[in-house]
Structure 1
Amino acid sequence: MSTETLSSESGRTVLRMRRELPHPMEKVWRAITDPKQLSGWFPAAVEVDLRLDGPMVFSFPSDPDDPGAPVALQTAGVIRAYEPPTLLEYTWGEELLRWELTPTDAGCTLHLTATYDDRPGSGSFAGGWTLCFDALQRVLGDTVPEQDYRVLHEHFAKVFGLDEGALTDDGDVRFERQLVKPKETVWQVLCGAQPATAGSQPPSGFVAKGIEPGVVSTVQEPLKLVYGSNGGEVSWTLRDGNGGARLVLTQTGPAADHLAAWHDLIEALAAELAG
């Protein structure tokens, strides 16, 4: 069983997860510290000098299905706390990961506390770590069924309220939503059969219920589309995010009355992409 909470602490986002494991702490400790065992479940290849203040290197191959492929990305870290076999804390770039083990009658509980800045990406992080926990249990010898990352992502997006938009003091609307498909695919879904062109009406996928769209003033496929509406401006931007495209949608005021309509449109888009 795993549990998850999301909070804001000292200006950063904190994701907490835990899983009950039917294995002794010493066995799980080896699985979360030995690079050979980490390779079976951790999302990056790890090199580590296992001691307090020991350096770490996290590497991603250019081809995830080929461990021998050239390294595409490397990130450094350092061990901040080291108390075997109960506590390991280290940085991973700007992120801080804290792993704690506590004994139980059936084995132990693994606690993960991840501290980072990208709150809108939390659905991706929670979904990804859930799959990592599943893979960890398989490394430990358990039988764990496969789960769909897209389903997990959308579940956490809703549980954590990441699907909700915000109103500014000026009455503008803003949504930032992580999606599970690349920006090129998202753009195609939004356009449908109608291409987006400057000087024309925007494709219907870019228009929420109740919006009276003007002509498109800016289009940069598959990154940006802007059009006037209701005395303000609607802007869609897409960029690469964690596991798919990151969507930022804004409507300048007065826009408060359209918050629910934009929510419904974006969530219908997210559901279509996840399906």
Structure 2
Amino acid sequence: MTETLSTENGRTVLRMRRELRHPAEKVWRAITEPSQLAGWFPATVEFDLRLDGPVTFTFEEDPGAPVDEQSTGVIRAYDPPRLLEYTWGVEVLRWELEPSPDGCTLHLTATYDDRPGSASFSGGWTLCFDALVRVLGGSVPERDYAVLHEHFVKVYGLDQGVVTDDGGVRFERQLVKPKEKVWELLAGAETAAVGSVPPAGFVAKGIDPGSATEVTAAERLTYTWSQGDVTWALRDGNGGARLVLTQTGPAADYLDAWHDLIEALAAELVR
């Protein structure tokens, strides 16, 4: 299996491929029939298999969730047993089967807007493809999602921060544990409180922190430094917490220090 990540027409495009030792017709049934999809796809799917046919997605953990634009889609291309493309909310999934001497090649092209979530999507689809192989009658060793996630973060360069136009620093990083666990590791044995110096885990090397000006446990911490503010913001993301860290002021010199701190945190969360 190979993976590539690109930006096309302003959207993120993830391409994945897997060689399968089964004919295209057999794999086609596995990617279109609900009874087989149930064994590997991340949601329960109901298809009306025709061009412009509706699609509905339901997650097992919340079967009573209301049907909205994020749980429905429409078939945009349909050419059995070669091509199936449909929307899933604002995401587009394109499945292509190419015959090969040993079976067929499965191509997945996913188009979406959340580039920082790409490692989560790649890790998740990797596990789905492993489950697909088992549905088809094959055997694949079990893999750890968190390890896969961190592998793809490095492959795609999603661990890198940016210097903003005003000279500040910004990181957006998907993590593999809930925000409560992330906060616990950052705070350690200390307590974060407005008016107090933030716990050491929230401070990159070389920064002399001022007092915290905003604290919402497991969600947000802002403190001053000599030329601006530092803000840690955590929210629920795909597979764990989504971290957005910003430092205002002339902060480019701290880019590497923040990178090292965030990556040490991410490595600790995988253990």
Q: TM-score range by the shorter chain?
A: over 0.9
Provide TM-score, normalisation by structure 1: 0.96
Shift of 1:71: 3.0
Q: Does 1:93 align with 2:89?
A: yes
The match for 2:213 is: 217
Q: Distance in 1 between matches of 2:93 and 2:60?
A: 21
Q: Secondary structure at the match of 2:122?
A: helix
Matched, 1:240 2:222: no
Q: Is structure 2 residue 115 aligned with structure 1 residue 119? A: yes
2:70 matches 1:71: no
**Matched residue, 2:42:** 43
Q: Specify every segment of 5 or more residues in structure 1 that has no aligned partner in the other structure, as ranges.
A: 64-69
Distance 2:139 2:16 in 1: 20
Moved over 2 A (4+): 70-74
User: 5+ unaligned residues in a row in structure 2: which ranges?
Assistant: none
Aligned residue in 2 for 1:137: 133
2:264 pairs with one of 268, 271, 274 = 268
Contact preservation (8 Å) 1:100, 1:111: yes
Conserved 8 A contact 1:181-1:273: yes
For residues 46-80 of structure 1, the C-alpha deviation after alignment (integer angstroms, 9 at most, x for no partner) is: 011111111010001236xxxxxx43364001000
Offset at 1:170? 1.2
Aligned to 1:148: 144
Q: CA RMSD in A?
A: 0.9
Whether the 8 Å contact between 1:60 and 1:73 is mirrored in structure 2 is no
Does 1:227 find its partner at 2:220?
Answer: no
More deviation, 172-181/53-62: 53-62
TM-score by length of 2: 0.97
Residues 187-245 of structure 1 show CA distances to partners (whole Å, capped at 9, x for unaligned) of 11100000101111100110010111001111011110000113111000000100100
Match of 1:170 among 152, 166, 172: 166
Output the amino acid matched with 2:10: G
Number of equivalent positions:
268
Counterpart for residue 67 of structure 1: none
Query: What amino acid is the match of 1:154?
Result: E
Secondary structure of residue in 1 paired with 2:65:
strand
Identity rate, percent: 73
CA distance in 2, matches of 1:253, 1:164: 19
For 1:51 and 1:118, locate their aligned partners in 2 and report how far apart those are by CA, in whole Å.
29
1:52 aligns with 2:45: no
